[in-house]
Structure 1
Amino acid sequence: MIRRAIVLFNLGGPDSPKAIQPFLNNLFSDPAIIGLPSLFRLPLAKFISKRRTGIAQEIYTHLGGKSPLLDRTLEQASALETVLRKEYPGDDVSVYVCMRYWHPMTPEVMADVISFDPDQILLLPLYPQFSTATTQSSLLDWIKTAKRKCLKIPTYSICCYATLEKLAVAQADILNRVLDGVSDKGKTRVLFSAHGLPKKIIKRGDPYQWQVEQSAQLIAEAAGLSDAKWCICYQSRVGPLKWIEPSLEQELKRAAKDGAAVVVLPVAFVSEHSETLVELDIEYKDVAERLGVTEYHRVPAVGTHPIFIEGLKEIAVSAFEQQVELRSFKELRCCPSKYDKCPSRLSGHY
């Protein structure tokens, strides 16, 4: 019997109003978010988190005072564990949730994994597209903690699965259901919205934007959309830096000018949380109405869609078979060579 542990990485979110400020402090203290020496970064993180707490409290008021992300991720973990136990009927399989900025975080999750005493560990981010600000941050945090705890169990990591066919098919399935409810189907535009990043991060070789583009293309093809029927845009901009474009607001303005109905698909989020349930469902819907967009619809996150969960299962099975320290979902590296922040390149595979 083989004991297999799968750790699902996600961002995390506050579990109570009191947790909002410490959650934000954890977020902005991460050098992947603010790339300054700790002497400057930590006081700045404390300042920013205090300043943004009021805004965040208002956001989470719409969600009952806490983030739903942990509950949604636990549902995904349970669904994945169920299909993996069927795949490995003679083995012991356990799926864990590890959040980056609020509980359960790496030290406590690693303690649970060690208690399980697995023969193999798979680190599987719930970020389909790799970025130094998300997946890499989680992987590095796990690696550092593992070194401190002298964890020697064979561990395999998946860096990305932006072009996972089953993810695209699942998202296209949900998208087409939403499109069926649009009144003016002939003049509808699908906006694939992803969390934005500062341009300087992309210029340094982060493959995130390229991977978002690959994901959107695959979903559009699976949904049968012509090129004129969809575009990519970015949301969640904060701070004074220049961010990748076009923004979601820019695309809403264009849709209003063209008289197009809008369907927004959160292409980089697989779970519902504040950036879908509040930012997209409330804030950007208000923007669309103010601009005069004829219709505004939002596609639900893929969540526990059976096809998506089957795709995650296939990633896990392949990873346990290949036993490679770090790889994308189907090969060592999928990014073009110009993206030198690709973790496969940095790990020495390329």
Structure 2
Amino acid sequence: MEKLAVVLFNLGGPDSPEAIRPFLFNLFNDPAIIGAPAPIRRALAWLISTRRESVAKGIYAHLGGRSPLLELTRDQASAIEARLGDHVRVFIAMRYWTPFTDEAVSAVKAWNPDRIVLLPLYPQFSTTTTASSVKEWGKAAAKAGLVKPTTGICCYPTQEKMIRAQAALLEEALQKAGTGARVLFSAHGLPKKVIERGDPYQSQVEMTARAIVTALGRSDLDWLVSYQSRVGPMEWIGPATDAEIRRAGAEGKALVVQPVAFVSEHSETLVELDIEYAHLAKEAGVPLYVRVPALGSHPLFIEGLADLIGKTASSERSFCSEGNDRQCGEAWKACGHAGVLS
């Protein structure tokens, strides 16, 4: 049986308080995040990371000074390996902190697989996440001389088993919240200009939310999509999650908040949603605030990822979307399935 290497892409996170500033620098020095020429981008990244370091340290202090993302991603990798068998080994390539992409490339090359599948742990495609990780992989693989048949997954916003897992988690939360609760499907925001350039992320987040509602089978559900984690003075996509929390308080509505673009717990869920937004909800008069867990290693989610890997490993396309045609409308010209990753 062919040896198959699966590479999981994720953001990464600082593993100590001392790593927070360089992590932030790496994030803001990515041309997919700040598109200025390299010297200007590096200067801005230095400035932003320096100014944000103390705030970020306060955030990560709630988590013991470090991000749990790597350990949770390792759990997902182990679950995928157990699902797919001994001929599959799963590697982790974090974009902004260790293990970096070049480390993953070296590990894959040493294992010497027959084939490689690139799997972003971002269900919805964006030029700021999946595209950035794939481009970094291509550069690192070329530099290391890693030449193996490679296929990748563009996106999977409506993958059937992932949606079923999210619907099951939401149903549990709704049982706690009781009748009449409003559901906020919260996702990390993006500046509007990114979407206006053709990035399909927002439309795919909305696909995911609609699919969860359909799978839940509650025709009378009060729900909407909102966006969190706004940074800087630019105009961002909305509505904002914090604004929707305030509105729910004014209306006396209980809230169930489900992260739909984060598949693992990290600072945006464990601190922003669980601490900062829970406090805001209390201040705003929201009668009950319930947060749905991230997917993590939910068995159905792992099954869904295994299905994606199987389809993609046998695909002839360089980058496919669930092994099918692109899911985005033609307006989203930055869709990875349309060739932006080729």
Which aligned pairs between 1:241-280 and structure 2 lie closer than 5 A? 241-280=234-273
| 5+ long unaligned stretches in structure 1 | 86-90
1:212 is aligned to 205
* Counterpart selection for 1:326 from 298, 309, 319: 319
CA distance in 1, matches of 2:50, 2:98: 20
1:128 pairs with one of 123, 132, 141: 123
| Matched-pair contact (CA < 8 Å) for 1:169–1:219 | yes
- Separation in 2 of the partners of 1:276 and 1:204? 28
Q: Is the 8 A contact 1:187 1:259 kept in 2?
A: no
Q: Within 5 A, what are the aligned runs for 1:1-350? A: 1-85=1-85, 92-182=87-177, 185-226=178-219, 228-347=221-340
CA distance in structure 2 between the aligned counterparts of 1:67 and 1:105, rounded to whole angstroms: 15
Contact 2:192–2:236 (Cα < 8 Å) also in 1: yes
How far 1:145 sits from its partner (Å)? Answer: 1.1
The 10-residue stretch of structure 1 (224-233 or 325-334) with the greater mean CA deviation from structure 2: 224-233
Tell me how many residue pairs correspond in the alignment: 342
Mean Cα displacement is larger for which, 154-163 or 224-233? Answer: 224-233
Measured against aligned partners, the alpha-carbon deviations of 1:256-291 in whole angstroms (never above 9, x if no partner) come to 122110000001010000000000000001111111
Structure 2 unaligned runs (5+)?
none
For 2:145 and 2:71, the matched residues in 1 are separated by 30
Alignment-mate amino acid for residue 77 of structure 1? A
State the shift of 1:64 in Å. Answer: 0.4
CA shift for structure 1 position 186: 2.3
SS of the counterpart of 2:295?
A: coil
The amino acid that maps onto 1:201 is: V
Q: Distance in 1 between matches of 2:325 and 2:135?
A: 18
Moved over 6 A (4+): none
Q: Residue 348 of structure 1: CA displacement?
A: 8.7
Query: Residue 231 of structure 1 aligns to a residue in which SS?
Result: strand
TM-score, length basis structure 1? 0.96
> In structure 2, what is the Cα distance between the partners aligned to 1:8 and 1:225?
34
State the TM-score, normalized to the length of structure 2.
0.98
The one-letter amino acid of 2:277's match is: Y
Instruction: Tell me by how many angstroms 1:228 deviates.
Output: 4.8
Q: Which range moves more in the overlay, 70-79 or 217-226? A: 217-226
Letter in 2 for 1:167: M
SS of aligned partner of 1:190: strand
CA contact (8 A) 1:326 1:347 kept: no
Deviation at 1:323, TM superposition (A): 3.4
Are the equivalent residues in 2 in contact too, given 1:326–1:332 (CA < 8 A)?
no
